[in-house]
A and B are shown apart, each in its own frame.
Chain A
Amino acid sequence: MQPTLELRDLRKTFDGAKAVDGVSLSVPPGTVFGLLGPNGAGKTTTIRMLMDIIGPDSGEVEVFGHRRTRADLDRIGYLPEERGLYRKMTVREQLIYLGELHGLSKKTLGARADDWLERLGIGSRAKSKVEELSKGMQQKIQLAGTLIHDPELLVLDEPFSGLDPINQALFKDVLAAHKAAGKTLLFSTHVMEQAEKLCDHIALIAAGRVVLGGDLAAIKRERGADRYRLVADGDVDKVRGIAGVAAVAAKNGHVEVTAAPGTDGGALLRELVSFLSVREFRSAEPTLEEIFVEAVGDAQL
């Protein structure tokens, strides 16, 4: 299937510093894509280039199967990292205004704004000025403003930063509903736990370059293929001497066994049960956090 979004070799240099240094990635339709990386890795610059907020020095952006045009931006919902609302505008006017900027009519938007305010439980505040609302409510309105034109692709830059736990849950629900409707989502974060729970696909960016990318489950499987988590009673030290074992590391409450290349997990387990009372033996997939630290460490060496 044609990717919803495709970046090809995007580059951007600011006053001699390479902010983005050849980023390519592909977001399949209907997936949640995580753009991950430490602060200053080039995530925001990449996103701004895909949104045509800044122009790339070179490279291409394709959305919905063709080169991105200005009209395509009306089908994208964008929540920047630096976000805010007009403080003096009323909530409802604000939502309608953001929708009008996507080329929708006032009539359509009035009904949609009311729906959203109802859904977020702030229907009674429709006529309040934004500055009169709590920060939590403002965040809800910001989210509604991003979705008011019912975009096919959502692009969120650090969407969870600064959210209270209730809004974090709300954002996740709304994003899940977006995905359930068959739509696509790309978001950036430096918090790996969030990405691990939400993403189908990832691209890890460090120093302006993609150091790791693809299907998250596949990446984890690949990275964890030769590693096993073992909990057993008996002479665990003897494991080190087995032919098919490359390394053994004692972890908190368990042992991590790295199999030598070509060694089958089943064969290893049969070997282990011969001298140990095995209580647990399973594939030890690394967490995204571990993958991240490892990959970024590699990139920076």
Chain B
Amino acid sequence: MPNFDRILVIAKRDYLSRVRTPAFWITTVILPLLMSGWVVLPSLIMSKSRGGLRLAVVDETGKVAPVLAKEIAGVSGAEGPKIDLTLKIEPPAADAGAQRKELDRRALGDEIDAWLWITPKVFDDNKVEYHGRTLSNFITLERVERLLTRVVREQRLAAAGYDAKKVEKLVEGVDLAKTQVTEKGGRAGGGIGDIILAAGLFIILYMTIIIYGQMMMHGVLEEKANRVVEVIVSTTTPAQLMAGKLVGICGVALTQIGVWLLSAAVVTGPLMAARLPAGASANLPTLSPTIIAHFIALFLLGFVLYASWYALIGAAFNSPQEAQQLASIGVFFVVVPWMVFMPVLNDPDSTMATVISLIPLFTPMIMMLRIAVKMPPAWQLALAYTLTLLADLGMVWLCARVYRVGILMYGKKPSIKEIWRWTRYA
């Protein structure tokens, strides 16, 4: 007969002892900050960085460099990140070798950042020499490359007798004007936002399941190391103690997730939309109540599955070091969803995505991904939830059997075989 009062007493202690620590609130607050920083910072850095490149150009053709200079003056900033290019055209000297050495010297002496050497061969082999102090400024380099491509292409077209402007107009690319079809009608431009949302929910699920699963393990190990566990199980059954810990730590996790979801709702909500230019807000993901409900449900199912596994490990061993080997098995299983992350995102209804999302170990994370990008059929959801619930029950049963023996075992590190034998004790 389960004694819910006792389970509650234990859960309350486990909950309060963790929620009261500053560490809990620091991680709770820091993650949203990191996440938003992760999104905002790169674009912030890119928009602020001058990316200034002082480029010397030796143009043997005499046709490319002047046009390039004009392009840079004319289109700078119109497309892509703004890059501050300064072009200095050097006439080719009689002694090419000496001129190259001189350019290298100037680059090393920080008079210029890099130099280009354009030969007439560029119209055949598409190669322009670039010598720079650094080659890791790939965004700048790509922009230089694009500019050169355009200039060289125009020259080629002109040489072949075409009107470059006309041709450019004729070969312009096509953009997909995306509208997601939903129950509530079409929603324009949801794509990127949904991917960010799916990835965000996936990452939070992954992190919380792992972190709180391991918290369970450490909690059990601590009670063993403190030798407090036998005092506790003299009035509660080991199963009640384990249940209480699961509930308590789950509560800690839900508190944290609650704070995160709330801050996400604020960020993606009207507050943020008001600050963004019109049109940009269409890309923001919408955190619907349905998605939140699925998220919480999937978290609970995943947490129980993994946390009881971690409770088993914590009970069986005496120290985190001893527990490491089996604990890493848990980590391995949550890594699998990472490997299929992209394919599932791209085709959430593929056979592979469907099958993996029905395997209880992977259901929480993969189903979340699928729900976030495209709601799976109801029968798949029902099946996935049922299977995971059954797996949870089986796991809790198995782990409780090991747990009740393990918490009283001290000393020698048990072998897997011994742990298996514990499950069959009366």
Q: Which residues of A contact B (CB under 8 A)?
A: 15, 48, 51-57, 70, 73-74, 76, 78-80, 82-89, 97-98, 100-103, 142, 145-146
- Interchain Cβ contacts under 8 Å between A and B, 12 examples: A51-B234, A54-B425, A55-B426, A80-B230, A80-B234, A84-B231, A85-B226, A85-B228, A85-B231, A86-B223, A97-B13, A101-B6
Give min CB distance, B275 to chain A, whole Å: 43
Contact between A53 and B228, CB atoms less than 8 A apart: no
Contact between B235 and A102, CB atoms less than 8 A apart: yes
Q: Which residues of B contact A (CB under 8 A)?
A: 1, 3, 5-6, 9-10, 13, 17, 223, 226-228, 230-237, 408, 410, 421, 425-426
* 5 smallest beta-carbon distances between A and B, as pairs: A84-B227, A78-B234, A80-B230, A84-B226, A82-B227
A12, closest chain B residue (CB)? B426
Give min CB distance, B296 to chain A, whole Å: 29
Give the tally of cross-chain contacts (CB within 8 A): 68
Task: Give chain A residues whose Cβ lies under 8 Å from the Cβ of B237.
Answer: 52, 70
Q: How far is the CA of A184 from the CA of B1 in the complex (A)?
A: 28
Give min CB distance, B330 to chain A, whole Å: 25
A55-B426, A82-B227 given; A101·B421 CB < 8 A = no
Interface-centre pick from B230, B237, B421 (highest chain A CB count, 10 A): B230
Q: How far is the CA of A54 from the CA of B401 in the complex (A)?
A: 12
Contact between B231 and A57, CB atoms less than 8 A apart: no
Task: Give chain A residues whose Cβ lies under 8 Å from the Cβ of B421.
Answer: 15
Give min CB distance, A58 to chain B, whole Å: 10
Contact between B234 and A70, CB atoms less than 8 A apart: no
Q: How far is the CA of A70 from the CA of B234 in the complex (A)?
A: 10
Contact between B9 and A98, CB atoms less than 8 A apart: no
Partner of A73, one of B9, B234, B410, B425: B234
Partner of A48, one of B3, B226, B408: B408
A15-B421, A53-B408, A57-B426 given; A100·B9 CB < 8 A = yes
Task: Give chain B residues whose Cβ lies under 8 Å from the Cβ of A83.
Answer: 227-228, 230-231
Give min CB distance, B72 to chain A, whole Å: 64
Q: How far is the CA of A70 from the CA of B3 in the complex (A)?
A: 10
Contact between B228 and A84, CB atoms less than 8 A apart: yes
Q: How far is the CA of A103 from the CA of B17 in the complex (A)?
A: 20
Contact between B226 and A86, CB atoms less than 8 A apart: yes
Task: Give chain B residues whose Cβ lies under 8 Å from the Cβ of A89.
Answer: 13, 17
Task: Give chain A residues whose Cβ lies under 8 Å from the Cβ of B13.
Answer: 89, 97
A89, closest chain B residue (CB)? B17
Contact between A53 and B230, CB atoms less than 8 A apart: yes
Q: How far is the CA of A225 from the CA of B234 in the complex (A)?
A: 42
Contact between B9 and A78, CB atoms less than 8 A apart: no
